[in-house]
Amino acid sequence: MIHPTAIIDPAAELGTDVTVGPYAIVGPKVTIGEGCAIGPHAVIESHVRMGKGNRIHSFASVGAVPQDLKYRGEETWVEIGDGNIIREFATVNRGTVGGGGVTRIGNNTMVMAYCHLAHDCRVGNRVIMANAATLAGHVTVEDGAIVGGLTAVHQFVRIGTHCLIGGLSGVSQDVPPYVTAVVSRPQRGYALYGLNLIGLRRNRFPAETISALKAAFKMIFRAEIPMKDALEKAEAELPPLPEVAHLIEFVRSSTRGVLR
């Protein structure tokens, strides 16, 4: 159902069973998959490809131009998968040429009220961003991560899979997978509090995997040896599980450094 006060550009493509609420705007070069709901006063500005079953709530903005002074009107995009929820007043900006041209959200992710996803962010599947969490440009958030409310993430930072970042954090370095982190300014002591055990158990990680990740956490983040040596030790001594390998490679490939 399209409310009579909604404005739909003739070039927009809407799938079956799409609803568009009062005073919502759907601009040009927008594709909206079947079963999506666009709430009252929401704006899908332009250059947006959206899958099935998404819910865009009131006053959200998706597909606005990037907040980048280098942007000169190039054709860039927002791509959104299936089953996502974008709540009130959240903003998702288009990509930039320098960042690959696409801001992307995967499937079944929740972006709560007042969140911001800047240009060229890559947000995976089943991510939760609590109210007013903010991603600067070029941030990567892996599957299953939870970003606490009022958390700000610096540009080019990576957020690892199934990690939990506490609210009011200021994140300027990569957050490793599977951990719990709280980052204050200035930081005193460790930013990492251990594994995200509740999250791992809720996601049915095997006990063997959790045990190996515990050992990896101690070797990498609590041993008083250089990081390079700690990674080599973990690689040599721990079971060759995919999760352990991912944690080691994530840390090894970091260009911004990782929280500890």
Range(s) of the domain holding residue 233? 197-252
Tell me if 165 is assigned to some domain. no
Q: What mean pLDDT comes out for the span 119-147?
A: 98
Q: What mean pLDDT comes out for the span 107-133?
A: 98
Tell me if 169 is assigned to some domain. no
> Which of 95, 125, 141 is the C-terminal boundary of a domain?
141
Task: Say whether both 131 and 206 belong to one domain.
Answer: no
pLDDT for 115: 99
Q: What is the CATH number of the domain that holds 232?
A: 1.20.1180.10
pLDDT for 189: 84
Task: Say whether both 12 and 137 belong to one domain.
Answer: yes
Active-site residues, by number, are 119-120, 137
Q: How far apart are CA 148 and CA 164, in angstroms?
A: 8
Task: Say whether both 50 and 137 belong to one domain.
Answer: yes
Tell me if 83 is assigned to some domain. yes
pLDDT for 9: 98
The one-letter amino acid at 116 = H
> Which of 77, 112, 141 is the C-terminal boundary of a domain?
141
Model confidence at 259: pLDDT above 90: yes
| Helical pair 242-252 and 207-217, crossing angle rounded to 10 deg | 30
pLDDT for 141: 99
Task: Say whether both 124 and 26 belong to one domain.
Answer: yes
pLDDT digits (tens, 9 = 90+) for 182-239: 998 777 789 999 999 999 999 999 999 999 999 999 999 999 899 999 999 999 999 9
Question: Tokens 């040429």 correspond to what residue?
Answer: 97
Tell me if 186 is assigned to some domain. no
- Give per-residue burial for 221-250: e unless 16+ CB within 10 Å, then b: beeeeebeebbeebbeebeebebbebbbeb
Tell me if 157 is assigned to some domain. no
Task: Say whether both 97 and 12 belong to one domain.
Answer: yes
Model confidence at 96: pLDDT above 90: yes
pLDDT for 188: 77
Helix (H, G, I), strand (E, B) or coil at 38: strand
pLDDT for 163: 98
pLDDT for 185: 75
Task: Say whether both 24 and 126 belong to one domain.
Answer: yes
Task: Say whether both 32 and 122 belong to one domain.
Answer: yes
Q: How far apart are CA 230 and CA 48, in angstroms?
A: 44
Question: Is 8 or 188 the better-scoring residue by pLDDT?
Answer: 8
Task: Say whether both 229 and 120 belong to one domain.
Answer: no
Mean pLDDT, the chain, rounded, equals: 97
Task: Say whether both 119 and 219 belong to one domain.
Answer: no
Q: What is the CATH number of the domain that holds 54?
A: 2.160.10.10
Q: Which residues are CB-neighbours of 82 under 8 A, at least 6 positions away? A: 33, 51, 52, 53, 54, 107, 108
Query: Considering its fold, how many domains does the chain have in total?
Result: 2
Task: Say whether both 134 and 12 belong to one domain.
Answer: yes
Task: Say whether both 211 and 96 belong to one domain.
Answer: no
Tell me if 189 is assigned to some domain. no
Task: Say whether both 206 and 136 belong to one domain.
Answer: no
The one-letter amino acid at 107 = N
Tell me if 182 is assigned to some domain. no
Tell me if 150 is assigned to some domain. no
